[in-house]
Structure 1
């Protein structure tokens, strides 16, 4: 029986990273990510009401985490902290949700990956994608996962392709640069 991720959020562990529910105590470490000007262009802020996720104060970071907690409790999305296993440093977050919309991407999962620029690399991204591929289809009851890359995100794009994602070659809503992976492989 599938447990409801919104009732009890699992901890997902790989060799380099662990993903676990974001908590307010992560704010100081996460501010290093969200204030990183080199990282901001790689944050997926599509359809986020103008929030670019560039936070420069601990107060603003805590407000974001409070909103993520509110969203989790109301079953809108899950925001997980990316923790380095060797150092326990929190280097970014991952957001995932089951999308309900009146379009061709209805019931797709949407995965957002925000990482400090030092960790926007193939090793970390590949482990995030491994966790998503192994767990998120069932946890979020989706058959496809959408995620965004960027023209300058060469390691992210390479990781996506290596892990079975491919470009949708059309707009997602009004946005470009989305890749998709089906639970069964190519759609």
Structure 2
């Protein structure tokens, strides 16, 4: 699948514990459980998002975010997938992925954002997400590496990242800290 195709026909991915499906307006209520979770907000990657920290407490604000995410898909800026628990169909959060074009050393890198309810910020769930990303996103987004953020307090996320082959970037990404990277093999 090429970069153009993923924005024409957004794939659904299925892992051992979770599935990823393009975020839809019908996800509003389920995703509000994630984005209103004050314990989860510090783990969200809001770097370079114009001051939005993704803490949403009303259905209306959640709906507006999803409408923006869908606008961004149509215009090929990024894709948001809803993370759905296979056993219960519960909506645990979202991931975002895009191919970064910039005049810096991270040109043609993919940026992966993972937003999960705090209850699901666990190594098995995050590893399942990363396995899907590692197996599909390098080619789907035509990137040479994937960057994702994990603050020092995100011990389960960091464990999942290291278990899936990611390593600390060891320097700032733009002006931001706490990034991990996996290069295409």
TM-score range, shorter chain: over 0.9
Unaligned runs of 5+ in 2: none
Q: Would you identify which runs of 4 or more consecutive aligned residues in structure 1 move more than 4 Å?
A: none
Alignment of 1:107-186 (within 5 A): 107-184=108-185
User: How many Å apart are 1:136 and its aligned residue?
Assistant: 0.2
Cα-to-partner distance string for 1:18-68 (whole Å, 9 max, x where unaligned): 001000000000000000000000000000000000000000000000000
Q: Normalized against structure 1, the TM-score is what?
A: 0.97
Q: Distance in 1 between matches of 2:47 and 2:13?
A: 26
User: How many Å apart are 1:145 and its aligned residue?
Assistant: 0.2
Partner residue, 1:36: 37
CA root-mean-square deviation: 0.8
User: How many Å apart are 1:15 and its aligned residue?
Assistant: 1.4
SS at match of 2:181: strand
Q: Distance in 2 between matches of 1:179 and 1:33?
A: 23
SS at match of 1:4: helix
Partner residue, 2:50: 49
User: How many Å apart are 1:14 and its aligned residue?
Assistant: 1.0
Q: Distance in 1 between matches of 2:102 and 2:16?
A: 36
Partner residue, 1:80: 81
Q: Distance in 2 between matches of 1:40 and 1:168?
A: 22
SS at match of 1:83: strand
Q: Distance in 2 between matches of 1:25 and 1:43?
A: 22
Q: Distance in 2 between matches of 1:112 and 1:128?
A: 11
Unaligned runs of 5+ in 1: none
Partner residue, 2:25: 24
User: How many Å apart are 1:183 and its aligned residue?
Assistant: 1.1
Cα-to-partner distance string for 1:90-123 (whole Å, 9 max, x where unaligned): 0100000000011100100000000000000001
Q: Normalized against structure 2, the TM-score is what?
A: 0.98
Q: Distance in 2 between matches of 1:144 and 1:14?
A: 21
